[in-house]
Structure 1
């Protein structure tokens, strides 16, 4: 955002500000108001104030009734949900079972980024106006957890506005649901200016209790770290995230602001195209070096993860050996990273037939994760030690995500927070072989081990905790032995908050407006 545009946006914030207006800044914007178009934390966090799932989360991340008041398993493959009565969408339309059947089907169509949540659904049935049944292809005891980020839309509104299918971020297509919203949540969208500001107002006819006293939220993307920090310190915004790690002490030393920090459940990792016979973006012709495990392992062992923690993250990261971190059910604390060893990496490259390395492009966002651009620059420098020349393409997430999600990439960075707080989520979305139903939807390099697929289905169906954890361990061990992806670290959360603001920071980095209060 230019200085002029920022001044205009913040001036507008000042005009609408009142005692119950909270002004929030983020390094990026939600790319759409459509809750099914992008499975990304910021987008789902923002739209999660407007739309709601059947089953939600409490402040301790435990499950809580939302649009469903109760649920039970009636057979190993069938769950019955009793829906909340008397709920209205923001346009006054009553919420019914038809909206649930429609919304869950909408997550499975072309363009949906939420397929991996519902890919094992066999049928969603309306029993009566406020009862639905979900039948799954195999037993699915963690189904309520899986539904916590699948938001319900109005069937009537979507049909009226030609928005029956989600926008496809890979193709750049937009529809009414991209810019307007009609949920059941505690806040409504009053104004939407993509990449400038979005204004939310309290839903006066909300069915539930809104604990906070905020009546209006002005959300402004400010991509420049220094500008975002300055806006917080000057009082132009009340909340911002992330606080750059180098500015946490500065924010805490101010009389009016504080940094709210904590561990995040997100794991940052690198992926490689392991499917194509020839990489799209490399000087190696006629073959794909990433199909060779020795090359993948060489890349892994050439990355100085402790150096990244010290110099780039300033200690605010936890190096990881797997795609989930502490706090996720199924985390394996005994797993160790492959050692950082440049000489061993060079030897592996030579054994694989690349003693002089090769060139490859790397896709990386520069406004999505903490220090993402700098991490990728450091990885590129590390890999130069084994004669790999990285052509780094760091860009805003608005162009980065569409590119990598259509698999137009050879080597990329991604971050992942399991929405279910369970290892099955990452196994199903990232470690499974890719199909057209949603399995492996974010396995962008098409890693594939049929044994991992088999174990994923066992983890999904198993109710015995010890057996289930043994399956998870076996799958993670196989994935690590394959070097299916290169795990980097879990980043730490840091929100900058004016001391007059009370809010709740969750380990999944969701920010719910209903829990924000001002004096």
Structure 2
């Protein structure tokens, strides 16, 4: 018997020990005993675990909905709703499910729920298909055994399954929510505002843009390691000033979106402490590479189809200036779409060009845009660190080379359905790597959109045959050296063709009261099981 402490597929059975669990989080009411009050800048998009691939949403829902696997403190993989797994063949992986687990309504968790959840996450309306990429079928063997049948060997299956969350088949059928709604069409189902999982907390209420309440599940299967936080209150507070005032006044205990300009002051406050670390997230500019004609632009045709225009837009950006003046050092200028901390990142490839407006203007002239052009530029104002300020700086930098970007900002809750409706042609976006492997970035963003996980977040109409071949080979290559060589080739092509314009990798500081102890997570998903409340 072997402990499942690595991400690769097993040769023998893997048995996972129960992780040491402890909890935490937030709210905006007078402090209750064993209550954690957590604030950040943006709200969840839904309570449906198979609908929206959005970090804040998955960070909250992981407390209610669980996967077959989960991460340890050092990002290795261990069992959650599955206790053991083994390879029957390179394309057939058998999982033994944890017995005695019950959903929050008391109904038992079985193989039927896993099979049902697989069908649900594979729905065309789901944006979560990357988490079951390469899985052709989930087959029930008995009440607590399932086989995952793969289209080809999958070197990171147990990592992707961390965010494949299991929903009750009976509950979903009873409430007529057997498929996620179409968010781009502003649809909702019962699961949009209600939840029923197996996890350490029950979500008892969601008032959009105000509060989410969670209470401890006394019947959690891992209650021996449960947190001392019996209640979690999450408050989305968009305003930096208001969010910081809530922390300084004691109204909240933990803030995970700390304005960069306040970090130094918070470090010097004896009542508080700051923990920080690199986040596995790249902030970048996306362009519509497929349309023949841009909407609401003075440019003829689509200038983004010309590599020289893309190069010019990138060369106009003073990334070091953004790092210093806007991010106050809490970022790392980027040349790649895969950040440090994720498998496949290569420091040698991550060579950031210095800003060169003169060369940028020359490239625009070579491309036939010597007079520049105007076009809309869209940006969220409450999702990424200093997102609106970054966009304002970019507008000024592009203006110097003759590109007049007309900035339009809005809340991420309305920004997201517009992206998914292909309404944006030029916008700022961010992409994290919850699997800690480059394939998640490449397949979701850079692969030609082909259904399922292939290009499921490619709202940029990017289609490159060479890149598609590399990504398809990365999916199935088991040998690590060969696989990383393929990843390097894909990242190099994206960089050299400027299919995206990376700005920086985020550094994420969290601030909290002295009595809060938590492990900083580079996926920016605070976990109750990794947090404790002191006296």
Answer yes or no: same fold by TM over 0.5.
yes
TM-score, normalised on structure 2? 0.93
Corresponding position of 1:111: 125
Residue aligned with 1:258, SS:
strand
Q: 1:310 is matched with which residue: 309, 324, 327?
A: 324
- Residue 166 (structure 1) shift: 1.1
Q: 1:513 is matched with which residue: 503, 522, 528?
A: 528
Residue aligned with 2:114, SS:
helix
Corresponding position of 2:347: 333
Residue 294 (structure 2) pairs with residue 275 (structure 1):
no
Residue aligned with 1:496, SS:
strand
Question: 1:379-399: CA deviations, max 9, x gaps?
Answer: 111100111011111110010
Mapping of 1:433-444 within 5 angstroms?
433-444=448-459
d(CA) in 1 for partners of 2:309, 2:371: 12
Residue 531 (structure 2) pairs with residue 496 (structure 1):
no
- Residue 362 (structure 1) shift: 1.3
- Residue 294 (structure 1) shift: 0.9
Mapping of 1:134-145 within 5 angstroms?
134-145=148-159
Question: Is the 1:27–1:242 contact (alpha carbons within 8 Å) kept by the matching residues of 2?
Answer: yes
- Residue 10 (structure 1) shift: 6.8
Corresponding position of 2:461: 446
Question: 1:440-473: CA deviations, max 9, x gaps?
Answer: 1112212121111111121121121111111111
Residue 75 (structure 2) pairs with residue 61 (structure 1):
yes
d(CA) in 1 for partners of 2:407, 2:525: 30
- Residue 46 (structure 1) shift: 0.5
Corresponding position of 2:103: 89
d(CA) in 1 for partners of 2:394, 2:49: 33
- Residue 96 (structure 1) shift: 0.7
Question: Is the 1:233–1:254 contact (alpha carbons within 8 Å) kept by the matching residues of 2?
Answer: no
Superposition RMSD on alpha carbons, in Å? 1.4
Corresponding position of 1:26: 40
Mapping of 1:70-469 within 5 angstroms?
70-208=84-222, 209-285=224-300, 287-335=301-349, 336-469=351-484
d(CA) in 2 for partners of 1:415, 1:75: 37
- Residue 339 (structure 1) shift: 3.5
- Residue 211 (structure 1) shift: 4.2
d(CA) in 1 for partners of 2:50, 2:297: 33
More moved, 301-310 vs 454-463: 454-463
Corresponding position of 1:6: none
- Residue 426 (structure 1) shift: 0.7
d(CA) in 1 for partners of 2:312, 2:322: 17
TM-score, normalised on structure 1? 0.95
d(CA) in 1 for partners of 2:327, 2:27: 29
d(CA) in 2 for partners of 1:133, 1:450: 33
Q: 1:476 is matched with which residue: 483, 487, 491?
A: 491
- Residue 167 (structure 1) shift: 2.4
More moved, 441-450 vs 197-206: 441-450
Residue aligned with 1:88, SS:
coil
- Residue 280 (structure 1) shift: 2.7
d(CA) in 2 for partners of 1:281, 1:260: 44
d(CA) in 2 for partners of 1:468, 1:10: 45
Residue aligned with 1:170, SS:
helix
**Post-superposition, which runs of at least 4 consecutive aligned residues in structure 1 deviate over 3 A?**
none
Residue aligned with 1:493, SS:
strand
- Residue 479 (structure 1) shift: 1.3
Number of paired residues? 507
Residue aligned with 1:514, SS:
coil
- Residue 233 (structure 1) shift: 0.7
- Residue 254 (structure 1) shift: 1.7
